[in-house]
Amino acid sequence: MFFSMEYSVGVVEYFNSDELGYTLLQKENFNYTDYPFRALWHFLNDLIYITGGGYSFANKLLALPFVILIQLVTYIAFDRNKAFLLLMLACPYFIYIGTMDLRDTLIVLLCFSSLYAAVHKRYYVLLLSILLLIFLRPFAIILVLIPIILFVLLFRKKVSFSKKVGGLIFISIMSVCISVIFSSIIDSYIYRVEYLLTAENATSLKGEPMDLSPRGVLIYILTWVFTPLPSSLLDRLLESGGHAVFGLTDDLVRLLHQIIYFSCLTYVVVNFRYFISSLFIGYRFLSEEANKFYQLLLAFTLSWSFVYILFTLGAAHSRIKIVFTYFVVISAVCIFKEKAYNRIRYSISASKDNE
C-alpha cells in the first residue's frame, strides 16, 4: 500500500513485478523466449502482462499466494507447531518479495515442497516439483537433489537395501533424461564451474574479479552473512530518503527485516550448542520427520548460499539471501522452543524427585 502511494505521487518510477519488466523489454528487441529452459518463467511473465499489463495494484498481489504456501509448508513440516504458524511475520521482506517477484517465490516454494515430499514419501509431489523447476530454474534441481540423495543414503535406515537402490536408480534415470534433454544448459553450468576452477583471473557474473584464496572466500562469506547492516539502510533512509529505484518503502521493510534477522542470528550464535546438537540428535520438541526436514533444509540452504556467494561475491540482494535469512529465523525459533521444552522437562523431573 505504501509502495503504491510512493509510485502514485511520482517518488519512484518502478512499480510492477520483474515479470512485467521482462515482458515489456520485448518492445526493445529483447526476446526472452529465446531461452527455452525458462518456459514456466515465460508463462509467469505473460500472466502478469495479460492480467493488466499496466501499473495496477492488483498485479502486486499475484505472488503472495506463493509466500503463503511457503509458510504453510513450513508450518506443516514442523509438526503444525503454533510457533511456526506466523513465521513470515519475522521475515517481512519475504512478504514484500511476494508483491514483486513471482519467479523467485515459486522457486523457493517448489524447493521447500521437494524437501518436504522427500521426508514424507510424497513422491508425486517431489516429481511434480522437480519437473516444474526444470522449466523455471534448472540449477535449483541440483541444490535440491544433493540433500535428498544424502538423506536417502544416510537416514533411511529402516528402508530395505533394495528400495534404496531402486530410489537411486530412479534418480539416476531422471538425471540421465534431464542431462540429455537439457544438455546445452547443463553444459553452460559445467563451463562456469570449470572457468572458476581453472581461470587465472576469474570474475563473478557481474564481471567483478574474484579472489578464491581462503581469505577472499572468508570475506565473501562474511559479506553474505552480515550485509546489509541495518545501520547502512538507516543511513540511506536519513540521507537520501530510501533506495533510488525502489523507494522509501523498500528500505523500511528491509531495515525491519534485517533488524529481526540480526537479532535471530545473535540468538543462534549465543546458543550455538543447541544448533550443533540438533544436527546429531535433533530437537527433542520436534518429531523425527520434522528434524529430518530441518536437516534437509540446512543442507539446501548451504548449497543455495554457496552458489550465490560464488556468483555474487557475497554481495547479493536481500531477496537472493532470503532462503538463508529464513533458515536463521527458523533456527532461532527451534532453539527457543527447545530451551522452553528443556525447562519444562527439568521442572517436571525436579518435582518428581521432591515427591
Distance, CA of 10 to CA of 58 (rounded, Å): 19
Torsion of CA 286, 289, 291, 292, to 10 degrees: 180
Across 48-62, b (16+ Cβ under 10 Å) vs e yields bbeeeeeeeeebbeb
pLDDT in the model for residue 7: 47
Proportion of the chain above pLDDT 90, given as a percent: 33
Rounded-to-integer distance, Cα 25 and Cα 34, Å: 13
Mean pLDDT confidence for 47-64: 59
Across the range 224-229, mean pLDDT stands at 92
Question: Is 60 exceeded by the pLDDT of residue 44?
Answer: yes
Is 189 a residue whose pLDDT tops 70?
no
Give dist(CA 129, CA 136) in Å, integer. Answer: 10
Residue numbers of the domain that contains 300: 2-354
The pLDDT assigned to 27 comes to 53
pTM for the predicted model, two decimal places: 0.84
Q: Cell 520483474 sits at which residue?
A: 18
Choose between 62 and 51: higher pLDDT.
Answer: 62
In the predicted model, what is the mean pLDDT of residues 165-179? 64
Tell me what pLDDT residue 239 has.
Answer: 82
105-140 residue pLDDT tens: 889 999 999 999 999 988 889 888 988 888 788 788
The pLDDT assigned to 95 comes to: 87
The pLDDT, as a whole number, for residue 198 is 62
Q: Which residue has the higher pLDDT, 169 or 138?
A: 138
Question: Does the pLDDT value for residue 332 go beyond 80?
Answer: yes
Question: Is the model more confident about 111 or about 240?
Answer: 111
What are the cell numbers at 220? 565473501
Burial of 17 (0-12, 13-18, 19+ CB in 10 A): buried
Q: Specify the long-range contacts of residues 287-295, CB closer than 8 Å, at least 24 apart.
A: 287/79, 289/77, 289/79, 289/119, 289/120, 290/77, 290/78, 290/79, 292/119, 292/151, 292/155, 293/77, 293/78, 293/115, 293/116, 293/119, 294/78, 294/330, 294/334, 295/151, 295/155
Q: How many CA atoms lie within 13 A of 108 on its CB side?
A: 30
Residue with cell 574474484: 210
pLDDT in tens, 267-323: 999 999 999 999 889 999 999 999 999 999 999 999 999 888 878 888 787 888 999
pLDDT at position 317: 79
Question: Which of 297, 294, 292, 313 is CA-nearest to residue 227?
Answer: 313
Q: pLDDT tens digit string along 62-118?
A: 678 889 999 999 999 999 999 998 899 999 999 888 777 777 888 999 999 999 999
203-218 average pLDDT score = 77
- Dihedral (C-alpha) 16, 144, 313, 87: value to the nearest 10 degrees? 60
User: Which comes out higher in pLDDT, residue 113 or 34?
Assistant: 113
Residue pair 285/341 in contact by the 8 Å Cβ criterion: yes
What does residue 252 show for φ and ψ, rounded to 5 degrees? -65, -45
- State residue 179's pLDDT score: 59
Q: What total number of domains does the chain contain?
A: 1
**For the chain, what percent of residues have pLDDT higher than 70?**
63
